């Protein structure tokens, strides 16, 4: 009888333990991440505008010269560059002339730029059709500010001119 009770007790314990038994298993999942080259440029303005007040050499900041009037826009454009690669920022123009509403033209070289951070008063460079490197940098985020200057020659007709400049950021192979 003891054997029967012991057998029943062992059977009941086995059934009870079978319900409580936890199976343990583990699976490793390999993870592969391929991050592409990423680089973004954001400009703080959509347009560079030289108005009549910018050419005021009597009460304003413009400079009168023998050939015309020079208007300056300090820190007129801020480019914020963010990326995970080394880069080079360049400036150029897609067209050789700014076109007037009444048919006149301004040569793109009349528009000049400089980086105010360099503190070089004579560091003005004319915009051209060729890409001119402005600055290179490492991965991360950086702000690049531009001053612009336009020389209006005496023989440039009074009218509104329009055109474009290109800021281009290119990943370096470094």
CATH code, 128:
2.60.40
**How many domains are there within the chain?**
1
Contacts of 119 (CB under 8 A, 6+ apart): none
Here the tokens at position 138 are 């490492």
**Does 10 fall in a domain?**
no
pLDDT score, position 142 = 95
pLDDT score, position 173 = 72
Hey, what's the torsion of the CAs at 50, 51, 52, 54, to 10 degrees?
-50
Here the tokens at position 37 are 């080259």
Q: What is the pLDDT along the chain (174 residues), one digit of tens a residue?
A: 677 676 676 766 666 665 555 678 889 999 999 999 999 999 999 999 999 999 999 999 999 999 999 999 999 999 999 999 999 999 999 999 999 999 999 999 999 999 997 766 678 999 999 999 999 999 999 999 999 999 999 999 999 999 999 999 999 875
**Does 115 fall in a domain?**
yes
**Strand-strand pairing, 68-83 and 97-100:** unpaired
Give the residue numbers spanning the domain of 104. Answer: 39-171
User: In this structure, what DSSP letter does residue 23 have?
Assistant: -
**Considering the entire predicted model, what is its pTM?**
0.79
Distance CA 81, CA 78 (A): 10
Distance CA 49, CA 119 (A): 23
**Does 44 fall in a domain?**
yes
**Does 117 fall in a domain?**
yes
**Does 34 fall in a domain?**
no
**Does 134 fall in a domain?**
yes
Q: Cβ(165)–Cβ(127) under 8 Å?
A: yes
pLDDT score, position 25 = 86
**Does 9 fall in a domain?**
no
pLDDT score, position 24 = 80
């Amino acid at each position: 009888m003891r054997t029967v009770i012991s057998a029943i007790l062992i059977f009941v314990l086995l059934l009870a333990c079978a319900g409580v038994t936890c199976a343990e298993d583990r699976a490793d999942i390999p993870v592969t991440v391929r991050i592409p080259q990423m680089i973004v440029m954001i400009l703080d303005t959509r347009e560079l505008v030289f108005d009549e007040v910018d050419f005021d050499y009597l009460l304003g900041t413009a400079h009168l010269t023998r050939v015309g009037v020079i208007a300056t826009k300090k820190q007129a454009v801020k480019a914020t560059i963010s990326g995970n690669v080394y880069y080079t920022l360049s400036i150029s123009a897609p067209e050789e002339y700014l076109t007037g509403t009444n048919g006149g033209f301004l040569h793109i070289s009349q528009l000049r730029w400089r980086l105010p951070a360099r503190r070089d008063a004579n560091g003005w460079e004319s915009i051209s059709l060729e890409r001119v490197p402005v600055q290179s940098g490492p991965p991360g985020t950086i702000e690049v500010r531009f001053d612009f200057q336009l020389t209006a020659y005496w023989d440039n007709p009074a009218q509104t001119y329009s055109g474009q400049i290109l800021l281009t950021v290119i990943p370096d192979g470094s």
